[in-house]
Amino acid sequence: MQIINIEQDSKTIASNFHIVLIYGKDEGMVSLFANKVSKYFSNPFNVADCISSIKYSDVNPSVLGDMIRERSLFVQKKIILVHECSEGINKELSLFIKNMQKMDQVMLLFIGGELKKNSAIVKCISETKNAKVVPCYEAQPFEIEQYIKKYLQERGMAFKRDLPPYLASILGSNLLNINQELEKILLLPQLKEVSISDIERLYIHDKGVDFFKIGELFCIKDYNAMSYIRNTTDIIQVLRAICYYLNRLIKVKACVNSGQNIDKATLALNPPLFFKNKETFLTILSNATAKSLYLKLENMLMIEKKVKQGILNGEAAFQCVLYYM
């Protein structure tokens, strides 16, 4: 499965199949692919309004039947997202899936981790009419490079020829992480051509640091982990990572406060949450008010502004970050 085809493949699957299993070692690609398929299938409706989510361990034919029959007065399409799939499948569920009639307005979307190709669930869905199995393997370096190049071109960003291979060499192979980093690069001031030196000034990379964990560590007040980051990571990168995480919390909090279901609110995040990070995210969300999240965001933006103005150096700015935890 080549990531450079993810857009077209997602459209094709959403148009032609009503039962889909997406699984694999590359959790980032699994999440991104599921998000794309859901978006194209739910069109023209809001994807968050179309999805009903359930754990695989809670699934049985009766439950699935009830979920299929449940319809909204305002949204004609239905995606039943079955997550955390394991390799086994019982006889009753297998028969239900194989005998399920194709419905243009309903999709069963199964999401799994590193499943074996010959596992019962993979075999069941592979053998089912109008069903599709999508294994997501870890992308190769040349695929990552091509993906980065295409991503930047489609968004109108001019760049030096050596930029995509450089980014491919430092961003790893997790597609969600890559997308999040590329989103930040798009925020760079208008330049004639983005070069490696522009990126190096923006980030100080350390493969021992998970940049997408920084916001979470800030919110759970892990002072030890944040102190380690202080010695390895550029302060601007730290502040932007925290702001990115806070903005995601604020977005979900606003949806929940307006009456939306928490699962639908989190599913609307783009890029989506990793399943393994969801519990911590929801715990932080439940313990925070919208006002406190906005205040933290304002403080981080204020610190970044003072760093850019030369009022605070890196060390002083980091002390401010720790103070506002």
Residue 157 lies in a domain: yes
Closest by CA to 208, choosing from 231, 188, 186, 242, is 231
Q: Domain check: are 34 and 71 in the same one?
A: yes
Q: Domain check: are 178 and 239 in the same one?
A: no
Of 163, 182, 201, at which residue does a domain stop? Answer: 201
> Looking at the DSSP assignment, which residues form a beta bridge with residue 81?
53, 109
- pLDDT at position 206 over 50: no
Q: Domain check: are 248 and 190 in the same one?
A: no
- Looking up residue 172, the CATH number of its domain turns out to be 1.10.8
Q: Domain check: are 60 and 168 in the same one?
A: no
Q: How far apart are CA 240 and CA 191, in angstroms?
A: 20
pLDDT per position as a tens digit, 260-271:
888 778 877 766
Mean pLDDT of 140-165: 87
Q: How far apart are CA 214 and CA 229, in angstroms?
A: 8
Q: Domain check: are 98 and 172 in the same one?
A: no
Q: Could you tell me the pLDDT band of residue 123, with boundaries at 50, 70 and 90? A: very high
Q: Which residues contact 4 (CB under 8 A, 6 or more apart)?
A: 143, 146, 147, 150
Q: Domain check: are 56 and 122 in the same one?
A: yes
Alpha carbon 209 to chain centroid, angstroms: 19
Residue 213 lies in a domain: no
Query: What predicted TM-score, i.e. pTM, was given to this entire model?
Result: 0.57
Mean per-residue pLDDT of the chain:
84
Cβ contact 127:101 at 8 Å: no
261 or 220, greater pLDDT:
220
Q: Domain check: are 192 and 158 in the same one?
A: yes
Mean pLDDT of 107-135: 93
Q: Domain check: are 15 and 114 in the same one?
A: yes
Q: How far apart are CA 234 and CA 208, in angstroms?
A: 14
170 or 205, greater pLDDT:
170
Predicted local distance difference test score (pLDDT) of residue 3: 55
- Looking up residue 95, the CATH number of its domain turns out to be 3.40.50.300
- pLDDT at position 188 over 70: no
Q: Domain check: are 250 and 289 in the same one?
A: yes
- pLDDT at position 205 over 50: no
Query: Half-sphere exposure of residue 260, counting CA atoms within 13 Å on the CB side?
Result: 20
Mean pLDDT of 103-114: 91
Give SS3 for 52: strand
- pLDDT at position 114 over 80: yes
Q: Domain check: are 75 and 102 in the same one?
A: yes
Angle separating helix axes 235-257 and 290-308, nearest 10 degrees: 160
Residue 169 lies in a domain: yes
Q: Domain check: are 146 and 193 in the same one?
A: yes
Q: Domain check: are 145 and 131 in the same one?
A: no
- Pairing type for strands 78-85 and 19-23 reads unpaired
Q: Could you tell me the pLDDT band of residue 96, with boundaries at 50, 70 and 90? A: very high
- The domain total for the chain is 3
pLDDT per position as a tens digit, 42-88:
988 888 888 889 999 999 999 999 998 887 777 889 999 999 999 99
Residue 109 lies in a domain: yes
Residue 130 lies in a domain: yes
Mean pLDDT of 204-209: 45
Boundaries of domain holding 7: 3-135
Predicted local distance difference test score (pLDDT) of residue 208: 43
Residue 223 lies in a domain: no
Cβ contact 185:149 at 8 Å: no
Burial of 257 (0-12, 13-18, 19+ CB in 10 A): exposed
Give SS3 for 78: strand
Give, in order, the Cα–Cα distances in Å from 47 to each of 33, 51, 141, 269: 14, 7, 32, 10
Predicted local distance difference test score (pLDDT) of residue 260: 81
Q: Write the DSSP string, 160-224.
A: -TTHHHHHHHHS-S-HHHHHHHHHHHTTSPP-SSB-HHHHHHH----TTS-TTTHHHHHHTT-HH
Residue 212 lies in a domain: no
pLDDT per position as a tens digit, 238-258:
888 898 889 889 988 888 888
- pLDDT at position 204 over 50: no
Of 135, 159, 183, at which residue does a domain stop? Answer: 135
Of 113, 135, 157, at which residue does a domain stop? Answer: 135
